[in-house]
């Protein structure tokens, strides 16, 4: 049984629920977003700037140093004492994942370790494996003596080293341009002293030709190189056992890569030859270059190179007399 009293309940204030971690982070970011943006920008710059301005140039220069260069053809035409026309093709080799553009530059060309003999303008090129570079221009010799040494190296050696040096700019995509050093040495096959030279046809004329020559023939000149050389009118001194017996002439001589068969004229002192002739009529003959003349102008660099090389062959004089009858 109740006593009639009423029980009263009072409402107590409960504490507000604590915000979740996510809510607190959201509130923080809403208030301090600009601070975080600055921090991100600073971090990105701290990481990216050294990569762009230190790492990228270092990688670019390293890739240039590791790349290779192969000269696949080289033609020297229209020579003069102080210049010539150059047409050259070369192929770049590269294992790099980067394919930057190397901007056109002036390249000094020389024998390895020697003074440059001239400069060639290299065009813009995408530095990727197999990229082909074409150069064609009139080259002005900056050092004729150095080019003379180059010509001798080409003629006298089985191989020679040609150096190409320049300081181009390089750029990968939208990254800044970088200064690099392009210093490449290319090993090229030489003429190897014209090894294999031979007189394949020879006849002694019974009557002198209108130009005064008294013998005619055909010479075989191998050219194992990638170089085509315009030598002009070449004159060669002939001797036997140390005695001068005459001169031979190769007109408008161009040595193209491969086998060259060239007509030859010569003026020979027949009386001397007869007195020197052995019983079997086989005459040993030494041949040494005397001059190279193009359009009436002597080419000292080619003349000196030819004079530095002596060729030896044996002529069947008896057969030459029979051929001339």
pLDDT digits (tens, 9 = 90+) for 88-124: 999 999 888 878 899 999 999 999 999 999 999 999 9
- For residues 163 and 185, the answer to whether their CB atoms sit within 8 Å is yes
pLDDT of the residue at 49: 46
> Rounded to two decimals, what is the model's pTM?
0.82
pLDDT of the residue at 16: 57
Phi, psi (degrees; rounded to nearest 5) at 221: -125, 110
Percentage of the chain beyond pLDDT 70 is 82
Q: Does residue 289 have a pLDDT over 60?
A: yes
pLDDT of the residue at 1: 47
pLDDT of the residue at 313: 95
- Highest-scoring range by mean pLDDT, 94-98, 202-206, 292-296: 292-296
315 contacts: CB under 8 Å, gap ≥ 6: 199, 202, 282, 283, 285
Domains within the chain, CATH numbers bracketed: 66-190 (2.60.40), 193-323 (2.60.40)
Q: Does residue 227 have a pLDDT over 60?
A: yes
> Helices 300-307 & 144-156, crossing angle to 10 degrees?
40
pLDDT of the residue at 51: 47
First-residue to last-residue Cα distance in the chain: 166
Q: CA 147, 220, 255: angle at the middle one, nearest 5?
A: 30
Tell me what the mean pLDDT of segment 227-240 comes to.
98
pLDDT of the residue at 42: 56
Tell me what the mean pLDDT of segment 287-291 comes to.
98
- Highest-scoring range by mean pLDDT, 14-23, 98-107, 218-227: 218-227
Q: Does residue 45 have a pLDDT over 80?
A: no
Least-confidence region, from 45-54, 108-117, 138-147, 167-176:
45-54
For 306, the 3-state DSSP assignment is helix
b/e sequence 48-80, b meaning 16+ C-beta within 10 Å = eeeeeeeebbebbeebbeebeeebeebbbeebe
Higher pLDDT, 98 or 142: 142
Q: Does residue 242 have a pLDDT over 60?
A: yes
Q: 56-72: per-residue pLDDT in tens?
A: 577 777 888 899 999 99
Q: Which residues pair with 74 in a beta bridge?
A: 88, 227
Tell me what the mean pLDDT of segment 220-236 comes to.
98
pLDDT of the residue at 58: 76
Higher pLDDT, 39 or 204: 204
């Amino acid at each position: 049984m109740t006593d009639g009293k009423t029980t009263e309940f009072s409402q107590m204030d409960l504490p507000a629920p604590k915000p979740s971690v996510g809510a607190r982070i959201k509130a923080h970011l809403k208030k301090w977003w600009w601070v975080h943006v600055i921090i991100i920008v600073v971090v990105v710059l701290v990481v990216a700037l050294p990569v762009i301005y230190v790492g990228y140039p270092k990688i670019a220069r390293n890739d240039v140093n590791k790349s290779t260069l192969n000269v696949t053809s080289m033609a020297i035409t229209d020579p003069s004492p102080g210049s010539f026309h150059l047409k050259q093709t070369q192929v770049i080799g590269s294992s790099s994942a980067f394919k930057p553009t190397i901007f056109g530059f002036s390249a000094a060309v020389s024998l390895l370790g020697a003074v440059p003999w001239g400069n060639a303008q290299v065009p813009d090129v995408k530095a990727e494996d197999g990229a082909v570079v074409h150069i064609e221009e009139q080259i002005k010799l900056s050092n004729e003596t150095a080019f003379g040494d180059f010509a001798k190296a080409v003629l006298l050696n089985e191989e020679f080293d040609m150096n190409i040096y320049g300081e181009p700019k390089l750029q990968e995509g939208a990254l800044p341009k970088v200064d690099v050093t392009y210093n490449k040495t290319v090993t090229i096959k030489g003429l190897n002293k014209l090894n294999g030279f031979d007189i394949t046809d020879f006849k002694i004329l019974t009557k002198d030709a209108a130009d005064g020559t008294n013998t005619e023939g055909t010479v075989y000149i191998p050219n194992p190189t990638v170089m085509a050389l315009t030598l002009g009118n070449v004159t060669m001194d002939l001797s036997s056992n140390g005695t001068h017996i005459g001169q031979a002439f190769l007109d408008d001589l161009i040595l193209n890569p491969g086998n060259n068969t060239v007509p030859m004229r010569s003026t020979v002192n027949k009386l001397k030859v007869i007195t020197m002739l052995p019983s079997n009529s086989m005459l040993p003959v030494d041949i040494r270059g005397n001059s190279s003349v193009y359009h009436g102008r002597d080419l000292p660099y080619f003349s000196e190179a030819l004079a530095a090389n002596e060729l030896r062959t044996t002529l069947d004089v008896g057969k030459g007399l029979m051929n001339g009858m």
